[in-house]
Amino acid sequence: MWGAEDGESGGFRFNFGGDAAAAAAKAPNPDVAARAPDADPKEGGHIAGVEVLASTVPEHSPTWKPETLELDPSTTVVKGAVTSADAANALSDADGSIDGNSDVVKGRYEGGFKLWECSVDLAKHLLKHADVGDGDDDDGVKLRGARVLELGCGHGVPGIVAALKGAAQVTLCDYNPEVLSTLAVPNVRANFTTDEERGKFAYLGGDWGDLDAHIEPGSFDLVLAAETIYSVDSYARHIRVLRRALRVGTGVALIAAKSYYFGVGGGVDAFRQAIERAHPDMEVQSVESFSDGASNVREILRVRYKRR
């Protein structure tokens, strides 16, 4: 897998240039960053929103090599392993700026070919809490019959788990359409064999600010995201797409992230404050945390409209 040389949670670098790159280089912790949710059009990076049709993706790809990922004793999913060379080729990286050490290249690539540890956290959370109680309490996540959107999906593991647990429809969304065609679509095919099962999935690529035409307001029961809140500059667009997608009154978002992203300033508290300052009709709670006592604490946030 791309990045596996240092482990899934090992050190990696931005290729942003300017002050962002300098800040990341000075970070005191190798876990300095995560999935960049989208690029800033003002700074030259912008990929237009587009639906990626699974029917246009070849059934067999020589670059997709299967791996198994055990999430719990009873649940193993299949995912693809893509080398850095295959990823660069998929992205038409003629200048060589994308390599095995570049997980984010501002405006061009947002890390989707790597499986991030918070994505695994989120998938495991769904398995533990799917349809516990009535889905509206402090623990339960209502999945059976739900419409689910996964933002910054990459491999789409949380979205795949949602479908395994009974979601009626799952939309996988990544900044780079090539990630969807190279990884997400083949991953879904590897885990679901019938046309009916595969037909539950839809795929959207492009900048979050460009997805209005593809996301009907209030149409999703559950929004999932992992490693998407490292950059404070992206929060306005992140929150906007959450509010557009979530069903008013009952919709829930689960966002898996590190408590703090050293060197770049984002994290759980910053995201919570951004929502609560701008949108008093919403609430943010940490519903699970993961810590090994040595590396950065990881959390899962639940974002939803305040219950009346």
Mean pLDDT for the stretch of residues 221-228: 96
Q: Provide CATH code, domain 4-305.
A: 3.40.50.150
* Residue 20 in tokens: 């962002």
- The residues, ordered by sequence, that sit 6+ positions from 28 with a Cβ below 8 Å of its Cβ are 262, 263
- The residues, ordered by sequence, that sit 6+ positions from 38 with a Cβ below 8 Å of its Cβ are 110, 175, 207, 208, 209, 234, 237
d(CA 302, CA 76) in angstroms, rounded, equals: 25
Contact 190, 65 (CB under 8 A): no
pLDDT tens for each residue of 13-22: 333 333 333 3
Q: Domain ranges in the chain? A: 4-305
Residues linked to residue 246 through DSSP beta bridges, in sequence order: 220
Torsion of CA 227, 111, 116, 80, to 10 degrees: 140
* Residue 13 in tokens: 């670098």
Contact 124, 201 (CB under 8 A): no
* Residue 273 in tokens: 């404050």
Q: Which pLDDT does position 279 carry in this prediction?
A: 96
d(CA 171, CA 76) in angstroms, rounded, equals: 21
pLDDT tens for each residue of 75-127: 999 999 887 777 778 877 555 555 545 566 666 666 667 888 999 999 999 99
pLDDT tens for each residue of 164-210: 999 999 999 999 899 999 999 999 999 999 999 999 999 999 988 88
Where would I find the H helices in 140-193? 157-164, 177-179, 185-191
d(CA 146, CA 136) in angstroms, rounded, equals: 13
- What DSSP string runs through 94-118? TT----TTEEEETTTB-STTS--HH
